[in-house]
Structure 1
């Protein structure tokens, strides 16, 4: 059984572990998440979980920056 995601106005729990300058908006739901810097992802926890359920657990983010 999956738990429903909290309202978009609530930030992703990952924001508690990063500097304020590394917080950005999720590419999927526009929730505040740890987006920039080492450890950051373009998707929040709930959007990433949804994509992993859809595409499999091997879904990863690959940086396109040199």
Structure 2
């Protein structure tokens, strides 16, 4: 099930959910991690060496985020 980040973190913090396997740390979900820091146990990464970014099909004539506004 796909869940938005806020409810996902709140669910683990209040015991409604048992785990998060999509926590984007240390940057993307940093605010949630800090907000609930005493309410969960960090067991470490489940994926290593991954990157977060944007992609478009090769037939698109763009090469930067700024090009998306065109």
TM range (shorter): under 0.3
TM-score (norm 2): 0.23
TM-score (norm 1): 0.23
Structure ID, larger Rg: 2
Q: Which one has a larger percent strand, Structure 1 or Structure 2?
A: 1
